[in-house]
Amino acid sequence: MEQTEEKIFKAKKYNAKIFPIYKMFSWDLLFYYSISFLFLTQIKGFSASNVLFLDAIYTIFKFLSQIPSINIAETIGKRKSIIISNIFVALSIFILLFTQEMWHAVVSFAFMGFGYSLKTLCDPIFLRDCITAKEHPGTAFADLDGKGTAYWYAFDAITAISCGFIFVFNSYLPMILCFAMCIISCIFAFKFKPYENPHKKEKLEESGSYIQYFKDLRSAFKNIFHSHRLKALFLFSGTFAALLAIRSTIASSLFTEIGLKEEYFGIIFAVLTLFSAVATRFQNFFHKRLKNRVLTYFSLAFSLSLIVIGFVSLFSKNFSFTICVVFAMYAIQYIIKGPYYTLIKRYLNSFTTSTMVTKIYSVNTLVESLCSSVMCLFASMLLDFTTTPYAVTILGLIFLIVFIFILDYMKDKIGLKPEEYDKTDINFTEVR
């Protein structure tokens, strides 16, 4: 027994050690975002509205995949689920390379949605399970997750610098390199060592009751939604995810409309990504300095930056001035985006157990996917009727108003001391 426990401990320690490197390749697509809009519009012949519609397909499939993802993760284990998720992401890029019609792209983004649904659920829980530090496990989680995120941002910045020039040289080469990064992610996923209890799957199979499984899952969700704290976090997280979902496509569309050359797309996105990389390493600084106001500053600053981008793009006639202001506002957004992902997971992790965190992450991803898909569809329709600068201004105003109401709702539910919370806010059970 002691030998088994020692083996599991070593496996967890090894997994935690290589997790930041794994995340550097796998957290999100590399060689992709700075040229994906150009690839889909110029090479595949889709419109900006079509691209946002595909983004909606991606988020819709993330939403639809959430409940099956929980079942998969709890049946076959998180390590195997991570392997499957990376394979599906790789397949989505492979299909996109050969896409000729819209339905091909829909299949690609559907595969991507399922892959990232499973991945978003399992990656942070896998890391949480593998934290061996007995003291301050939340800080250890944030440090390792933040390190991996910072590595990804730094690597993404390096790849993005050359991406625009590579695209001009060969429009398919960046996507081929993106696919190669996905393959490397799969290899790292296979390198993780098994650490989970093999009897967990057997218990579910022996009971033969998937009906009971879903009853238990529904009861767990019901208990989660009794927490005013978690409901407030879900509401904020879903709205912020909707904001982030349209950011990349809207930015690329705006750069195209104001006349930025294709080869400079990668350089601008690379520099912006560096801001995220540096900011991510300071996520503990943001957490300690801004305390319970961090989400307030992040959401309001992000929304106001969109409004400024929209107004300057609409009314400025000076190209250099427009580029400088737009770049500065996007820099603010990327500085916020970097630490946000780690901090929101840290807040969702608080006051919970390793068994309940799976459900909490799943509910959060459900809310994020639903909000993101609605916003992508809305932005897609908006771009059918107006130009990108007008769309950015309208979206910025909408998000500013919505966040003001959300923050007012959150003020007595988030950032309290443990003794100030009601028991239903921080104590959860699997079933009743």
Residue 402 pLDDT grade (very low, low, confident, very high; cuts 50, 70, 90): very high
- How many CB atoms are located within 10 Å of the residue 220 CB? 23
Residue 20 or 154, more confident: 20
Cα–Cα distance for residue pair 346/340, rounded to 1 Å: 10
Residue 403 pLDDT grade (very low, low, confident, very high; cuts 50, 70, 90): very high
Cα–Cα distance for residue pair 104/148, rounded to 1 Å: 32
Q: Is the pLDDT of residue 357 over 90?
A: no
CA 88 from chain center: how many Å? 16
Residue 221 pLDDT grade (very low, low, confident, very high; cuts 50, 70, 90): low
Q: Is the pLDDT of residue 9 over 90?
A: no
Residue 171 or 207, more confident: 171
Q: Which residue has the tokens 């009314």?
A: 315
Residue 93 or 354, more confident: 93
Instruction: Please give the mean pLDDT across all residues of the chain.
Output: 83
Residue 204 pLDDT grade (very low, low, confident, very high; cuts 50, 70, 90): very low
Helix (H, G, I), strand (E, B) or coil at 150: helix
Query: Of 87, 259, 264, 313, which is closest to residue 179 (Cα–Cα)?
Result: 87
Query: pLDDT digit string (tens) for 90-125?
Result: 999 999 999 888 999 999 999 999 999 899 888 988
Q: Is the pLDDT of residue 313 over 80?
A: yes
Among 52-56, 66-70, 224-228, the minimum mean pLDDT is found in 224-228
Mean pLDDT, rounded, for 299-312? 94
pLDDT of residue 212: 53
Give the DSSP letter of residue 141: H
pLDDT of residue 199: 53
Q: The dihedral of CA 259, 265, 271, 276: what is its sign?
A: positive
Residue 284 or 103, more confident: 103
Among 83-97, 130-144, 299-313, 373-387, the minimum mean pLDDT is found in 130-144
Mean pLDDT, rounded, for 62-80? 83
Residue 93 or 16, more confident: 93
- Enter the tokens of residue 195: 């650490």
- Contact call for residues 110 and 95 (beta carbons, < 8 A): no
- Contact call for residues 79 and 195 (beta carbons, < 8 A): yes
pLDDT of residue 92: 96
Give the DSSP letter of residue 194: P
Query: pLDDT digit string (tens) for 289-303?
Result: 777 788 889 999 999
Residue 354 pLDDT grade (very low, low, confident, very high; cuts 50, 70, 90): low
Mean pLDDT, rounded, for 35-44? 90
What percentage of the chain has pLDDT greater than the value 90? 32
Burial (CB count <10 Å: 0-12, 13-18, 19+), residue 158? middle
What percentage of the chain has pLDDT greater than the value 70? 84
Mean pLDDT, rounded, for 41-62? 89
pLDDT of residue 162: 84
Which ranges of 42-194 does DSSP label H, i.e. alpha helix?
48-64, 66-76, 78-97, 102-130, 137-169, 173-191
Among 13-17, 96-100, 166-170, 259-263, the minimum mean pLDDT is found in 259-263
- Enter the tokens of residue 392: 């950015």
Mean pLDDT, rounded, for 120-135? 81
Cα–Cα distance for residue pair 76/79, rounded to 1 Å: 8
First-to-last CA distance in the chain? 32
